[in-house]
Each structure stands twice: as structure tokens, then as C-alpha cells.
Amino acid sequence: MADELKRGLEGVLVAESDLSYVDGEVGKLVYRGYDIEDLARGASYEEVLYLLWHGSLPTAAELDSFVADLAAEREVNDGVIETVRALADAGERPMAALRTATSMLSAYDPDNEGDDDGATLRQGRRITAKIPTVLAAFERVRQGEEPVAPDPDLSHAGNFLYMLTGTEPDAVSEETFDMALTLHADHGLNASTFTAMVIGSTMADVYSSVTGGIGALSGSLHGGANQDVMEVLHDIDDSSKDPVQWVKDTRDDGGRIPGFGHRVYKVKDPRANILEEKLRDLAESSGDTKWLDYTTAIEEYLTDQGLVEKGIAPNVDFYSGSVYDSLGIPVDMYTPIFAMSRVGGWIAHVAEYQEDNRLIRPRARYTGPEDAAFVPLDER
């Protein structure tokens, strides 16, 4: 049993955690026991951060001081902005730019060498506050615009949209984006969270954990599926193709439908249900139902084909792209926005794991030779 090899660590238990639980058979996700639907509809992203980092929902006074502390950390040093400009000039991809800039943030953290009990959460708060500033600055600079300074009076979600566009968002956009941040904040030991934990288990600083988490999330098997969905929807639109025909052609070619299927969920992802509803609200209020029509047609067709019943159901990415597009967010910013939310989960898991830390160090089954005869260089 001890020597059983689990490819991809699938199903392997490596830690105990109070943070989030996914029941893929019934489509349930909870953060510290609270159903994701209740949190998405009733709590702000800041409340969710507090819940994940401090163990309980905040009182109004606790939330006020938490929000103020977070907002006070939004500004980033000019040195980081100069680097962001250089990265945009070089045509760097947004996730790679975020990875580089996040690592650089540590240079300006007044207690980046703090390694006492509270250091992970203290430094983590600064990182969480500054990531939106970095991302918005990168997007503006590459569009030939100047970065917009953060507004400490706006919410985490509202301030990001403000820094991105230079205009304060309307209430529906702010609420929708806040909901999307909550929905992506944590999801058990996914690959990027585990990456952050492995780094944290060496007692490296949390900048290293978050930088590693961003790297892991950037991979196409993890954070990129909502971008794929949106590219498909644009493709369907640009070519005036019938969405159902696109699905038929893709399946005939043996291709997969992005936004469908999940390693854990065998029914529709609960986050997809919530975002679908939001997409419907946005479509109704704007009168532009294009993305809603396409996604509904695809889902109905695949349901009729029995795919959903077989467990290949819509996941969170099937709807998040359309929601972001409706908010005017460019497609290649979707994965960075995922990072902007998931950073809350990464920090929570690192802090939780370090409370009873054990260096994460698995083994590989060695399949190479054990007695190769060494030949000196000049005899090879």
C-alpha cells in the first residue's frame, strides 16, 4: 500500500483542512461549512477572505477594519509599475507579467523577512491588495493608457474595475464581479493551491508561494479553460456558425467541448449555476443575449445527447468567460483574474498548513539502473 503509485496524486490525502470541501457527486462546494451559493449571494469577497483567513465570518466592526487594512495596501511602488511597463512593452503575456511583478512586490514589503506566526497572513494581505493594482496597470499600459491609482473607498471588486477602465463601475457590474471573485476564491487542493502549499511547507516566504501558485495556474490544464470557451464563442460569432453545428463538428473530430467536464464534479458545477443566472441578468439588462443564446444552445444540445447525464456537465468556466466579456474584460485577462481571486485560497491554505507544518516531500518510484559503470569523460 505504501508503495502504491498514484499518478498525478489523484485521490491521495496529503493534509487535513477546514477551508473548503467539494462534493462532486451532488455538486456542492462549501468554504468553512458555508454553501458557496449563500456566500456568493450574501457575502462580499472581503468577507470571504476574512472567513478563509481568520476562520469565521466577520462582525460588522471586524469587517470594517479588515476592509480598511486591505484597501490601505493597494498602492504599489513605482519600481513595480516601471517593471509592468517594461513587461507590457516586451509583449509579455498577462499571467507571466503577473508572476514577475508579484515576485518583485516582496522587494518593497517592509517586513518581507518576517517569519513569525502572523507573517504569512500579514504579507498575504499586502499581496492580495496589490495584485489587482498590478493587473489593471498592466492592462492599461498595454492599451497605451496610464495606470489609474487605486481608490481606497471602493470595494476590492469595484476598485479593480475602476482601475481597469478609469470609470467607477455601476452596481450590477461591481456585484457581478465581486460574486465571480467569491466563486473562485478556493477549491480544495487544486494544482496551484498544492503548489503554494509545497513551497510554504519549506517555510519559504508567502511571496514565493503566491508566485509559484500563479505559475501553476497559468497552465492550460488548470486556469485557462474560460479563455478557451470565450474564444470558441467568438469564433462561432465571427463565422456566423450555428453553435450546435460547432459542437457537432468538434465532437465528430474527436475534440472536447471547453467548459464541460471536471475531474471532481460529476454534475453541473454549482458555480456554473450561479454564473449562468448572472449572465442571464446581464443579458436582460443590456438587451444583448448573444453569449447567453449560444451557451444555452450548447448546453441544451449536450444535455439532449446524454453527455451531462454521463457526468460531463458545464463547469464554472463555461459561464465565467461570457460574464467577464459582458463586463468588458479582455479574454487574456480571465486567468489573471482567476489568480486575483484564488490568491485568497492560496494564502489561507499556506497559513493553515504551516500551523502544523511538515515538509512536503514525496518519492518517485525509481525505474533507472542502479549499477551503471562510470566512464570518465576522456574515455566516452
**Residue 258 and residue 204: Cα distance in Å, rounded?**
36
Q: How many helices (H) and strands (E) does the chain have?
A: 16, 3
Least distance CB 310 / ligand COA (angstroms): 7
Least distance CB 233 / ligand COA (angstroms): 13
- Give the residue with the Cβ less far from ligand COA, 22 or 70: 22
Per-residue x/- track, 227-266, ligand COA (CB under 6 A)? -----------------------------xxxxxxxx---
Residue number with the smallest Cβ distance to ligand COA: 261
- Give the residue with the Cβ less far from ligand COA, 81 or 216: 216
* Exposure string over 327-360, b if 16+ CB within 10 A, otherwise e: bebebbbbbbbbbbbbbbbbbbbbbbbbeeeeee
Using CA atoms, how far residue 4 sits from 9, 14, 150, 190, 359, in Å, is 11, 15, 51, 21, 21
Single-letter amino acid code for the residue at 297: A
- Give the residue with the Cβ less far from ligand COA, 155 or 315: 315
Per-residue x/- track, 301-320, ligand COA (CB under 6 A)? -----------x--x-x---
With the CA atoms of 215, 218, 219 and 220 taken in that order, what torsion angle do they form, in degrees rounded to the nearest 10? 180
Q: Footprint of ligand COA on residues 208-227 (CB under 6 A)?
A: 225
- Give the residue with the Cβ less far from ligand COA, 53 or 319: 319
- Cell triple for residue 360? 512536503
- Give the residue with the Cβ less far from ligand COA, 154 or 316: 316
The CB-side HSE value for 372 (13 A sphere, CA atoms) comes to 5
**Residue 292 and residue 322: Cα distance in Å, rounded?**
8
**What 3-state class would DSSP assign to 354?**
helix
Q: Is 111 a catalytic residue?
A: no
Which of 205, 317, 325, 349 is labelled catalytic? 317
Please list the residues that pair with 300 across neighbouring strands: none
Which of 262, 269, 325, 349 is labelled catalytic? 262
Least distance CB 294 / ligand COA (angstroms): 16
Least distance CB 364 / ligand COA (angstroms): 22
Least distance CB 377 / ligand COA (angstroms): 45
**Residue 347 and residue 19: Cα distance in Å, rounded?**
11
**Residue 262 and residue 158: Cα distance in Å, rounded?**
30
Least distance CB 109 / ligand COA (angstroms): 32
**Residue 336 and residue 272: Cα distance in Å, rounded?**
19
- Give the residue with the Cβ less far from ligand COA, 103 or 303: 303
Single-letter amino acid code for the residue at 32: R
Q: Is 262 a catalytic residue?
A: yes
Q: Which residues are catalytic?
A: 262, 317
- What is the binding site for ligand COA (CB under 6 A)? 225, 256-263, 312, 315, 317
